Structure 1
């Protein structure tokens, strides 16, 4: 369009100063032009909102089915046919008055625009499935295209946080042509920082839009003069060599999903839109296009818009969607809008007029400095006057927190509070990927830092949503889908001016028409987008089940939806940070015969750290879910107050012993509480022995935290998401690392499982140790291991090396195959369940003596340990004559004996001076700890000696001999063998230190006195000692017993037989356009065999080549012929040929349809 009139107006000098000179050089990544070859398709599966997205800014699709679903389970329905980002703009080109020349001089100065004849060009930039501007050939859409560099070009997906293989292999584009953070996620908050359960990230630009750049166009706009498509990527596949087109936009897009029960029905999208052109854009509007399809049939929808909360929502008039399923409600919340930082007006009513996201912190200013309306500021940010503080000038909302470097060494220790002063890489001390302070000095410098294209510290500039003077939502329309009849006035994307009139006006309209297939358009504008500057827009799609009567009422009530909107607002105002679940465990599943063994790592309980609750480890427990369907919907049987399925019921749960137990009384979701467990102790293994062979099971192990009880009404505990991503044929594309798909099975014919071989060992400990195989698939066959213990001394005997009472307080397991490598450890800082307990009376940790304990699974094995005793106790059963006989009484010392709890031999001889005591002084105490005073005879001579057979005297190479002192019972100063008592104690020289036990012959006579060479063993029950070593090894891979194959093949069966219509091995199919996948199972087959199936007349129907893992003895047949046709009902013959031995099996089965 052309303006022919010259405008003459008066502009105040102040206003001129406000609107001029705000553009800067763009300092972000130097991206090539977008390319259709860079387009990728992905799915957001981080919670119950399932949505397909293309890295072009388009969400969902039509008429495809598996592109939008809520909830993401078999009862979910399609909710939208498409969502598109809209960026509209008006560009002004000087009119030179000569119709024969091309006009291309851009006008950006308001004075020039209002005083100069000019043309007005309209642009609407988007990417959508229909009604787009196209090139003259109709083959190239003029809109947004994705940029190479932001995903793995050899992969299938756009970059998503939960699929590492989708990330760019050479790092992420940074400033100019530099890259950053190779091998780590490019998080909103920094290197590898992921605050949501799933995030996505991609970049587009509008360089391919050649509208107003054709040879026939007499008015042209060149956003980047001198830049052409293909300059940076000569291999561009469309329109190489044309001028860089569009209006010079670069859009980076992030998607976020949280699986917390209070947020799992919402998804967030944040768009950062940069002007990378050489010109300011004076009039721009950002917005969204939403095409409803509530329940999969979008022609009977109603909608409502609430101006107070900037949310529109739609529902099906009768609440019945495709397949007769209930539809629920879809809301669309408008969150962040572009900012106006240079108009000296408080557009968002927060008491600030100059908020920016790209300004540098220069100086610390006073508490109220920079605030134009203190009362409005306090009300908006929910503060009191006492909360105001000195702050950095660029931290306008005063929420950036400095750290406390207490020792002044310039480095935050784990014990020091680091606040937001963690550097522009966003990685704080204590994180798994923390490698030290940022090399650029931005960490611990006590100033908020930001670098375009690289990163920003939390609560500052680009990471802080409130540091923008947002214009808010200015335009909303809800209307029936426009006609597709040719017209340049319908509200379709190809009609740029018509779309500008939709998004560039200040009008919020409620929809009052009849039910229809509705479109919603949200927008903010117009506003200036200056050269080199970035503005943002964000939204949330949210869902709920609300009573239909309330929705169809005049007030259109939707209490569940509005509660979710409240949570959405909390997440947004927390800068897209919300309660995170613990670190996700990695699940390993081993299929057995009638059982499935699940094991997982300990990263959740040891490495979790949630910044939302002060960077503490808020891990609480694990839950295991099992399902027979790919949506994991079987366990979702716990309903909320509206009767809607809310939580899954686990088949196993374990939690910390921390007095946090039972159901929460905070963070209730529609009246439903979360079960924290019952202080059972943590384990990392579960054996499910309630499974059927041949049936497919889907398992997930989730770690959960204890929630946030003290934030408002509380935030419910968060647990890991479970992802099983399906394609449109319902074939599994990917699964999360905490998910396993398992088919339990019979053993293959002739299979010999691996074994654990143990060496016999002499142990001081009285307990037992038993290794067992738990996960054959994880075994390291041929490896040698040994297990030993750590101990804690709780009492000692002075001056005696072997005089101490101890407890076992740790387990250590080493792989000793090539070198000694520690592979497993438990101690007071890390232990499983209640394997260790703490005794606060004497302040020590010990193995739990109350029963058998089990280690975690390592290398496919688990160790069963019976600790025996906690502290030493006299072993009456094992104290007896081992040679000869006689009458002698042995009394253990209850106090001091436990400090010398060894095995002793009392050896009798024919030498009356076989041993002569050495102790001459010191206090001697009896079995009760009472001193015998002076009633003792030192240096007595006896005809026996006492060996400590638990230790060798290193100086002599012989057993250590214990010392003796006589208790002169009758006080006659004479050693009377049959009246006095002999105290046995520590051999510590001339001073008596402690009594181990007491012997006497008061019940004996000369005839019953032990004869020479008689030996009596005195023994104690002891905890495991640090010298106790148990060695074991894993035999070679499971061998094949060829001789057993023939007999084992007699057990081959066809299941079910007869086959009648269907069976439990066949998974449900949710897609109505797909056929049932039939399954018939052969059991006990050799792992390497050929199965041929014939009709009763001998016609070959199909041939199955079986090449299973050595232990797997089942194979499923899809009941299709070699021509991929379904078989007919009837009788069939099967022939099985074992490839290893040639053994054969012939049988039959019936099929009844």
Structure 2
């Protein structure tokens, strides 16, 4: 099964228990349908996918004064900025007595209406089935143990997969959470939204909630919240308001009385700061915090172009690609049907995944049919631009408690009559803000959406820069560059040393945003603090800590090395030194008895915007040749446009020296001397060269004595290139490791094909060429396009270390090819050269068949 399918002992979904309720005769025909939101399903989670860490609850509340973490930023500081956030929905309707009412559905830690019998607050409550009931967290994308066995809102083919926003098993963010809630327990009014279900109260609303975090350096100071609100009642609501309440708390739990706030009208950002710049117990400086109101509900029936995009009354549920941005598959061979070798683009089918996605199983409904289907990117529910958004219609900045959620009529009047925001300021108060969009219709079965982002910065200018990233992610439909998958590491302590080794799953990562396999390497971080604060010492041009400095780094030997051309406000990411990949590291610079925290992160090679130009040149002898140039795009300041490389997250939750919660790619280790008399294991006879002409060297290290298989014998077999057979250049492109103990032949490892370089012919007549690429994005090689000969290219690598096998690292070192072997080859001529560094290249030209 796919690596993204959760593998663990499944827990049985408990049967739904219907509780019999005695009702009076005049409602005896009604049937309770359920399911209903309930306090018994409440769970608390922590979003910690980047520098912003906050608790949240699956009944809609974000942060929770005075408990922590409540929007702590940056991670590891315990500096909090928000006391609480509540999402609210109001609508106008008529109760059983004929009165016009304005119920408010929300949930917050204070100022809520209470059930007169139970004393419990009335409002949103979580629906069952959206998390594993045998644990305490809402469903989190990075922890399969939090997922339910099956998702109530998905088909059975989604069982065991993450319920991703963009499809089955799709992780479009580094960390995502998902839950659903409703207002069915809000019995404040004599109002029944479902005529067939007397137990369902409130407005009959069902809400899907997601949060997204990206760890990329540009997005690491932001967290996004997205809401789908469906009208499941029997009634059309003609006047509806969506909104948010935020209670700021800049400076910490007991430091809110001097907060201040305003609104940047030119970039649509509400923001807040601390009056004296000092937090609880004097920590300083307190940064800036922002609230970006992003997506708003749409009105597709008023005949107005509300969002001024040239479209009138567009909708995300009309089955039409209103803005024309959905892309069908690319029919390469022109046969009118899709085949697996052709790009699908947006035409991936209802499940949202295609052949390059780890969760892909088989073609599904709508896949490769040339027509948009619900569930595909850039269409209907997954295309924000197909909503005629009404925007932010009301904004209020005030001293908290002057307006309270408990007073529905006051809130209806305020939120319905307010005007859009201005740049007014309020200072020296316990600061609150209200945001709203309305009034708009919400028909039976209709779903509308809205979203916001919380963001943080060291100062006002830093906050504004972070808003640019927030806007870019929103404009890209909640997409951003994704890092490779996290490696899974093993850590072993030793005598004044620590040994780490990890798997290779990150190397097969596909970036859906950039549409390519872009893994580049691994970085190793060490710290005496679980937040790794002391490793983040590379600052940008404004003095803001931007990149971390690794203890060690191993990258592909692919010509991508040194500072990446795309800078982040003056700071650049180091791609490495073309060292070649390793999957183990021994740290000999540690002290016995000291606890250390380690992280092994995978990273990609980023992206550079530009175009490739192909020029035909005429040589001195009159023949044609081809020259290819890559021209990067520059911004108005002359900087190269693109995306800097992205690292995967590395999370350790806990205090120094205390209990910690580790991620798969993090570890805590305390080196110690071995027990007296301990003898470390050794190779019995070293490495024996049994047969073959290879002059490669094998470096063998015992990394984990606990995993050794005593007395076992292993064989390393190098596989020859299949291009011309073993006799041509004696070239190998991979290797295999077998356990041959007691005459066995168990395959323990098989390297990727071409791990020692690529070797092969260009097709005759192809316009192959050298690529003049100063950015070192790749290498391409050429022949005279008019010639009737072939050329070949081999790029060797210095070494490649596979995953650790039974506690042992086997590292083959590639050595230079002996060119004396070329003398007897059937060649008219041979050309070769050596590149700088450890990379070694040769080029064989004018090969002709012996016949």
1:778–1:530 CA distance, 2 compared to 1 (3 A):
farther
**Residue among 388, 406, 411 paired with 1:469:** 388
TM-score, structure 2 length as denominator?
0.81
Counterpart-to-counterpart distance in 2, 1:871 and 1:521: 74
- 8 A contact 2:755–2:800 mirrored in 1: no
Counterpart-to-counterpart distance in 1, 2:580 and 2:815: 21
1:763–1:447 CA distance, 2 compared to 1 (3 A):
same
What is the deviation of 1:704? 1.6
462-471 or 509-518, larger mean C-alpha shift:
509-518
1:764–1:449 CA distance, 2 compared to 1 (3 A):
closer
1:676–1:130 CA distance, 2 compared to 1 (3 A):
same
Counterpart-to-counterpart distance in 2, 1:766 and 1:160: 49
Residue in 1 that maps onto 2:751: 826
- 8 A contact 1:807–1:871 mirrored in 2: no
Give the RMSD, CA atoms, in angstroms: 3.0
- 8 A contact 2:733–2:756 mirrored in 1: no
**Residue among 50, 54, 73 paired with 2:53:** 50
1:733–1:496 CA distance, 2 compared to 1 (3 A):
farther
Alignment of 1:660-739 (within 5 A): 660-666=560-566, 668-710=567-609, 713-726=641-654, 732=659, 734-739=661-666
Residue in 2 that maps onto 1:811: 735
Q: State the aligned residue count.
A: 732
1:790 aligns with 2:719: yes
Counterpart-to-counterpart distance in 2, 1:131 and 1:620: 52
**Residue among 528, 551, 554 paired with 1:651:** 551
Residue in 1 that maps onto 2:179: 202
Counterpart-to-counterpart distance in 1, 2:135 and 2:757: 39
- 8 A contact 2:183–2:201 mirrored in 1: yes
1:601 aligns with 2:503: yes
1:192 aligns with 2:141: no
1:778–1:639 CA distance, 2 compared to 1 (3 A):
farther
1:526-558 deviations in whole A, cap 9, x for unaligned? Answer: 111111110011000011112xxxxxxxxxxx3
What is the deviation of 1:481? 1.1
Residue ranges of structure 2 left out of the alignment (5+ in a row): 1-32, 610-632, 636-640, 760-778, 782-789, 827-851
What is the deviation of 1:873? 7.0
Counterpart-to-counterpart distance in 2, 1:830 and 1:762: 22
1:776 aligns with 2:776: no
**Residue among 65, 77, 80 paired with 1:78:** 80
Residue in 1 that maps onto 2:475: 573
What is the deviation of 1:356? 1.0
What is the deviation of 1:66? 2.7
1:534–1:871 CA distance, 2 compared to 1 (3 A):
same
What is the deviation of 1:566? 1.5
Q: What SS does the aligned partner of 2:464 have?
A: helix
What is the deviation of 1:84? 0.6
**Residue among 139, 142, 157 paired with 1:159:** 139
1:156–1:780 CA distance, 2 compared to 1 (3 A):
farther
303-312 or 812-821, larger mean C-alpha shift:
812-821
Residue in 2 that maps onto 1:144: 124
Counterpart-to-counterpart distance in 1, 2:156 and 2:457: 41
Counterpart-to-counterpart distance in 2, 1:563 and 1:350: 25
Counterpart-to-counterpart distance in 2, 1:866 and 1:645: 38
1:583 aligns with 2:485: yes
Counterpart-to-counterpart distance in 2, 1:187 and 1:293: 32
Residue in 2 that maps onto 1:744: 671
1:479–1:805 CA distance, 2 compared to 1 (3 A):
closer
What is the deviation of 1:321? 1.3
1:851-904 deviations in whole A, cap 9, x for unaligned? Answer: x87555333212244667734979xxxxxxxxxxxxxxxxxxx955x99xxxxx
1:174-205 deviations in whole A, cap 9, x for unaligned? Answer: 26xx6551111000000000111100000000
Counterpart-to-counterpart distance in 1, 2:729 and 2:103: 85
Residue ranges of structure 1 left out of the alignment (5+ in a row): 1-29, 94-102, 105-117, 213-219, 229-242, 361-393, 451-455, 483-489, 547-557, 797-801, 875-893, 900-1153
Alignment of 1:246-645 (within 5 A): 246-296=202-252, 297-323=255-281, 324-360=283-319, 394-406=320-332, 412-413=338-339, 415-438=341-364, 441-450=365-374, 456-482=375-401, 491-510=403-422, 511-546=424-459, 558-605=460-507, 607-613=508-514, 615-645=515-545
1:253-274 deviations in whole A, cap 9, x for unaligned? Answer: 0000011111110100001011
1:134 aligns with 2:114: yes
Counterpart-to-counterpart distance in 2, 1:697 and 1:442: 51
293-302 or 823-832, larger mean C-alpha shift:
823-832
What is the deviation of 1:521? 0.7
Residue in 2 that maps onto 1:1149: none
- 8 A contact 2:496–2:591 mirrored in 1: yes
- 8 A contact 2:55–2:68 mirrored in 1: no
What is the deviation of 1:138? 5.5
Counterpart-to-counterpart distance in 2, 1:409 and 1:595: 61
- 8 A contact 1:410–1:444 mirrored in 2: no
Q: What SS does the aligned partner of 1:225 have?
A: coil
Q: Which has the larger radius of gyration?
A: 1
Residue in 1 that maps onto 2:152: 173
Counterpart-to-counterpart distance in 2, 1:766 and 1:583: 34
